[in-house]
Amino acid sequence: MGIRRYPEGDYGSAFGYLNKAARVGDASAHSQLARMFMNGHGVGKDKKKAVYHLEEAAIAGHPTARYNIGAIEWNNGSKERAV
C-alpha cells in the first residue's frame, strides 16, 4: 500500500505503511524508506536513516538497495566495501 501511495505524493500515508512493513522485514519497504529519507519526501532528509534502511534492504537481498549502498560506499572512498 505504501508503494502505491508514494508516487501519488501521499508521503504521510506511504511512510506509515512502509514503516510497518519494514518493521516486519520487508526489503522493498526498507528500500523505499531509504529513498524517502535521502530525498526528504514526507520526512526530514537524514542520510544516516537512509543508509540504515538501504543496508537492511540489501541484507534482505534487494538488488537496487545493494547497488545503491555500493555506490554510496564507493563515493565515500570505501572501495573495498563497495564491491
Over the stretch 33-71, which tens digit does the pLDDT of each residue have? 999 999 999 999 999 999 999 999 999 999 999 999 999
pLDDT value, residue 82:
76
**Burial of residue 19 (number of CB atoms within 10 Å: 0-12, 13-18, 19+):** middle
> What mean pLDDT is predicted for residues 22-30?
97
pLDDT value, residue 83:
77
pLDDT value, residue 6:
87
What pTM, to 2 d.p., does this model score?
Answer: 0.89
CA distances from 18 to 21, 71, 73, 80 (A): 5, 23, 25, 31
**Burial of residue 61 (number of CB atoms within 10 Å: 0-12, 13-18, 19+):** exposed
